Chain A
C-alpha cells in the first residue's frame, strides 16, 4: 500500500490538489474574520479550519496517512498532552 501511494505521477497530482484545498481554506479563514460573525461562532469555526489545515499538511505532505502507525502515535502525543495541559490549567482559567 505505501509503495502505491508513493508512485510519483500519482502523488504529484495529489499534492497539487492538497495545495488548492489549503489555499481555499486560507482564503475562507481570512474572509470570515471580516464578516463580523458572533465571537463564539467565529472562534469555533477558525479553530476547526486551522486543525483541518494542519491535519492535511500532516497526513499528505508529511505522509502520515501512508506511514506505519507508530509515527502517527508519536505525532499525536504532543496534541494529547496539550489538551491535558489545558485541562490541568482549567481551575486557573476559570477560578472557582
Chain B
C-alpha cells in the first residue's frame, strides 16, 4: 500500500482522477453493475409473478430455511475470510493469504454442496409432494432460475478465486488483483443475502 499512501500524500483533490491501480476496480464494478441488473430483473420479475399468482406456497414450509440459513452463514464467513486474505496479501504475508484464500474457496465449495443437496432433496421429495415442479408452476420455476443463476455465479467465483490463488502462489498476481477478485466474491454474497430474504424468508 506504500505507493497508494504516496499517491494520496499530496492534497486530496475533491474528485481526483482514477489512479492507475483503480482501473481494474472500475472495470469490475461496471461488470457487477450489469450483473446486478440481471439479478434485479430476475428478482423483480419473481416479485411480480408472485404478486399476480392466486396461490403461492409458503416458502418457509416448502423450502426449509434452516439449511439455507446455514448456507447464508457460509457465504458470510467466506466473505470475511476473503477480506482477511486481502489484508494478508497487502501485508505481503503469502502464507496467511493462502490459508484464508483456501478457506474462502472451501466455503464456496461447501455452499455448492449444500445447494446440490437442497436441490436433490427438493426435486426428489418435497416438490412432488406439493405437486410442484420446474416449468410446471411459477413457484418452482422462479426458484430454480434464481438460485441456479446465483449458484452459477458461486461456481464462477470458486474457479476465479482458485485461479487467483494459483497466480499469487506463482508470484504473477499481487494485492490489487486479489482486491478485484474480492469485489466479485462479495457481490455474490450480497446477492445471496437478497435472494435469501426474497425467495426463502418472505
Interface residues of A (CB under 8 A from B): 1-3, 6, 8, 11-12, 15-16, 18-19, 22-23, 26, 29-30, 33-34, 42-43, 46-47, 49-50, 53-54, 57-58, 61-63, 67-71, 74-75, 77-79, 81-82, 85-86, 89, 92-93
Give chain A's interface secondary structure class.
Answer: helix
Contact among A8, A15, A30, A53 for B90, CB-based, below 8 A? A8
| Nearest B residue (CB) for A25 | B193
Tell me how far the C-beta of B182 lies from the nearest C-beta in chain A, rounded to whole angstroms.
Answer: 7
3 closest A-B pairs by beta carbon, nearest first, are: A78-B36, A50-B197, A82-B40
Tell me how far the C-beta of A61 lies from the nearest C-beta in chain B, rounded to whole angstroms.
Answer: 4
Contact among A1, A43, A50, A86 for B194, CB-based, below 8 A? A50
Q: Are B197's CB and A19's CB within 8 A?
A: no
Q: Are B33's CB and A77's CB within 8 A?
A: yes
Q: A23-B73, A30-B65, A57-B189 given as contacts; is B5 within 8 A of A74 (CB)? A: no
Interface positions of B from 107 to 123, Cβ below 8 Å from A: none
B-side interface size class: 35 or more
Q: Are B69's CB and A30's CB within 8 A?
A: yes
Q: Are B37's CB and A62's CB within 8 A?
A: no
Give chain B's interface secondary structure class.
Answer: helix
B58-79, CB under 8 A of A: which get 1 and which 0? 0010000110010011001101
Apart from the given pairs A78-B36, A82-B44, 15 other A-B contacts in the complex at a CB distance below 8 Å: A2-B8, A3-B8, A29-B196, A50-B198, A54-B190, A54-B193, A62-B183, A67-B22, A68-B18, A70-B15, A71-B25, A71-B26, A74-B33, A82-B43, A85-B44
In the bound complex, CA of A26 to CA of B192 (Å): 12
Contacts of A8 in B (CB 8 A): 87, 90-91
Whether B80 sits at the interface, judged by CB under 8 Å, is yes
Contacts of B186 in A (CB 8 A): 57-58, 61-62
